[in-house]
Structure 1
Amino acid sequence: MIDQAWLRQRLTELKLGFMFLTQLPLRHDAEVAKGDLARALWSAPLVGVVVGFAGAIVFSIALVLHVPLLPAAVLTVAATTLLTGALHDDGLADVADGFGGGATRERKLEIMRDSRIGTYGVVALILSFMLRVCAIAELGDDMAVLAALIAAHAGGRAAIPLFMHIVPSARADGLAADAGVPSQTVSLVAVVIGAAALLAGLDIKGGIIALLLLAGAGAFMAWLSWRQIQGQTGDVLGALEQVGEIIVLLIAAAIVATPR
């Protein structure tokens, strides 16, 4: 029999995950203490499942209305971006601006905290949106898009707690520092959920390839963020999600495009 207190705690953590990673209007009356978010981040890939499902619904509606594939894909990415409040997109842009435009660690962190966007950030966002839109349009079929979006959004978020567990925060304050450090158990649960979504959304071969590429991308991001700013920030985590999402969508598109 499931322990009721344990279940309530997990449901609270799931709600915190949705509150932090989406724009859904959820209420949480209790004060969120430092460490609460870190404990809740096992839910990040589950949040990704919901975001991907929402995007797939938009794509299916667009097809029913006879919207061509390319604008249907644009609407799909717009919907997922709206649902997440462009949280990860903002991180990608800030990392591109900071890592590309700052000469010192301090200057890079200053640029990343600046709300203004620069040339590197604009280019990064353009490339990100183009790659995701083109990959979704290539999938064509609404069921293929559903599987790919769930895999991409879950897989892209699954590495976030593990990344936070391994790479220390670059700042004493800020979003990532305030969240705390996810435990090894939280990180492992998120990875397992993300891996399951990848294997279910892609075929076995594609899922394994995605896992390997995501691991490589995570290792590269860890090396790059340490080299650039000696740690990670919330922006780095957002960029990590975007890179992972793109990788999975491109793999899904490649599977569809490969002759059987």
Structure 2
Amino acid sequence: MSSETDQEPDSQVETRSRKTRDQHQVWLHGGKALAADTAACVRFFSRLPLPAVNTEDDPMSPPDFVRIARAAPLAGAIIALPAAGVGVALGFTQLPLLAVAVLLTAVLAATTGALHEDGLSDVADGFFGGATRERRLDIMKDSRIGAFGALALMISVFLRAVLLAALWQKFGPADAALLFLAGEALSRMLLVWQWQCLPSARPEGLGARFGKPSRSTVQQAFLVTLPVMLPAFFLLSLPALLLALVIAIAAAHATGRLAVTKIGGATGDVLGAVQQLTGLGFLAGMLMVP
């Protein structure tokens, strides 16, 4: 009888130990999968030469955005790190803050290959330069830039530089860089949200080639965004935080609705425009109130 009672606790301990090991394996596999998805998004959305980060990551395989889009917000923050580093380093010099912001903007565009800026420019040309859906789509595919695209690009770059200079002046280089990274992550989360919500404007477009994020993917992208957004919760006043979020979300929704009206849904250019406009909206909202 005593031997049976001695064995029972041992079996319970072994069961708990096995469950703990299984949980650790699940968390380890989940972490590796998220790292691989993040690396895939970094390669797709930037020019950063990122090697394979683990055994789950295959740089040669085409991206599957049904799954990996959940990591887009984290990838956005990573892509913005070089620009944020330049902003922090130069922010502690005597260089005028507007010049710092211009250089920061230039580094960010160079890191992404001006991917999203190109999308905004194409959307402006297509949406406002064509009279029919087919003509608008044709204009958006044209690599040449028109008057509407050039104007939108100039306004966007100038406004971003001015807003970043004001952000650096108000919060200082270190805190401003954290808020800048939060905005880059949020803009990618809203990009994923609109990608999932909107129909594809072209049957052969981005969704057909690489898949379209699911609702579950959007929910995971939201969770991934939260840690990067934490500095904003501590550094911003509640009115500034709420206004920044409202403007960013409204910009994403309005861009999506306009895309449905003009061309029937989303394209890669539309998603790039969503990223640019929501990033600007978040920056503006942070600075509009104390």
Regarding TM over 0.5, the answer is: yes
Where does residue 51 of structure 1 map in the other structure? 79
Deviation track 1:199-230 (CA, whole Å, cap 9, x = no partner) reads 53252433322222222222212211110000
Equivalent position of 2:19 in the other structure: none
Distance in 1 between residues matched to 2:223 and 2:240, nearest whole Å: 16
Residue 193 to residue 200, structure 1, CA distance change in 2 (3 Å): farther
Once residues 133 and 254 of structure 2 are traced to their aligned partners in structure 1, the CA distance between those partners, rounded to angstroms, is 18
- Unpaired runs of 5+ residues, structure 1, are none
C-alpha displacement of 1:29: 4.5
Residues 91 and 97 in structure 2, CA contact (< 8 A), matched pair in contact too = yes
Alignment counterpart, residue 207 of structure 1, candidates 241, 244, 265 = 241
- How far apart in 2 are the matches of 1:192 and 1:206? 21
Find the counterpart in structure 2 of residue 86 from structure 1: 114
Residue of structure 1 equivalent to 2:44:
20
- The alignment covers a number of residue pairs equal to 254
CA separation of 1:207/1:192 partners in 2, compared to 1, >3 Å: closer, same or farther? Answer: farther
Identity %: 34
Question: Please, which runs of 5 or more residues in structure 2 have no aligned partner?
Answer: 1-23, 52-57
Amino acid in structure 1 at the alignment position of 2:111? L
Residues 245 and 285 in structure 2, CA contact (< 8 A), matched pair in contact too: no
2:62 paired residue among 32, 35, 41: 32
Aligned residue among 20, 27, 33 for 1:9 = 33
Q: How does 1:62-141 map to 2 (within 5 A)?
A: 62-139=90-167, 140=169, 141=172
Task: Select the structure of larger CA radius of gyration.
Answer: 2
- Tell me the amino acid that sits aligned with residue 210 of structure 2: A
Partner Cα distance (1:176, 1:102) in 2: 24
Q: Give the AA of the match of 1:20.
A: F
Q: What is the RMSD computed on CA atoms of the aligned residues?
A: 1.9
Q: Aligned residue for 1:170? A: 201
2: distance between equivalents of 1:223 and 1:60? 37
Specify the code of the residue in structure 1 equivalent to 2:49.
P
Greater relative CO (CA pairs within 8 A, separation 6+): 1
Q: What TM-score do the two structures reach when normalised by structure 1?
A: 0.90
TM-score (norm 2): 0.81
Stretch of structure 1 that moved more, 37-46 or 85-94: 37-46
Matches within 5 A, 1:101-250: 101-139=129-167, 140=169, 141-198=172-229, 200-201=231-232, 203=236, 204-250=238-284
